[in-house]
Amino acid sequence: MRKSVVLIVLAIASLSLSACARGYQSSATPRNTLETFFTSAQKADYSTTYDCYDSQYKATVSEADFVGHRGRAAVLKTYHIDELSVSGDSANAVVSLTFAPVGGAGTSPHVTKVQERLVRESGGWRIAVR
């Protein structure tokens, strides 16, 4: 019984984290998209991270290029959505990010804030890079 409950919880978590990848966003919110985007980046699941981008970004950057670049970049350790505002078919967020130290012992994590723009596309929310 316990094993069944664990498997069900894992299945639900997998479905939640792959919301962008499935392209099913009809009930998603900008916050859901941001959480999927940054959680997948934390887990180095860069294909899911890439799937959260809008079609305009995907038309200019291939998934293979994105995944390759992210695989060489600093590792995202934590994120916090500080601000989120929605206006019609667009949204803006301020997100605090903490990246793992780079360069060996004695270095500290890199903390920064980023602004993310989201757009409603095909019934769901996507990260827009413009």
User: Any idea which of 1-5, 40-44, 125-129 has the lowest mean pLDDT?
Assistant: 1-5
Examine residue 123 and state whether it is found in any structural domain, yes or no: yes
Q: Which residue has the higher pLDDT, 128 or 74?
A: 128
Whether 3 maps to a domain, the answer reads no
* pLDDT tens-place string over residues 30-56: 999 999 999 999 999 999 999 999 999
> Does some domain include residue 4?
no
Query: Is the C-alpha dihedral spanning 62, 99, 29, 12 positive or negative?
Result: positive
Q: Is residue 1 part of a domain?
A: no
> How sure is the predictor about 1, in pLDDT bands with cuts at 50, 70 and 90?
very low
**Angle at Cα 44 formed by Cα 42 and Cα 46, nearest 5°?**
110
Q: How many domains does the chain have?
A: 1
Residue with more model confidence, 27 or 77: 77
CA distance 47 to 69: 12
90-99 sheet: strands from edge to edge: 76-87, 90-99, 110-121, 124-128
Whether 18 maps to a domain, the answer reads yes
- pTM for the model stands at 0.76
Question: What range does the domain containing 80 cover?
Answer: 9-128
Q: CATH number, domain at 122?
A: 3.10.450.100
